[in-house]
Amino acid sequence: MRGLWEALDGTDVEINKPEGGFFIWIKLPSGTNPNQLAELAAEARVQYTRGRAFFPNGGGEQFIRLSFSYDTAENLYEGAKVMGRLIRESIM
Give the model's pLDDT for residue 49. Answer: 94
Overall average pLDDT of the 5-15 stretch: 95
pTM (predicted TM-score): 0.90
**Secondary structure class of 75 (helix, strand, coil):** helix
User: How does pLDDT run across 71-85, given as a tens digit for each residue?
Assistant: 888 998 999 999 999
pLDDT digits (tens, 9 = 90+) for 13-72: 999 988 888 899 999 999 999 999 999 999 999 999 999 989 989 889 999 999 887 788
**What value does the mean pLDDT take over residues 3-14?**
95
Distance CA 61, CA 3 (A): 23
* Domains in the chain: ranges and CATH: 2-89 (3.90.1150.10)
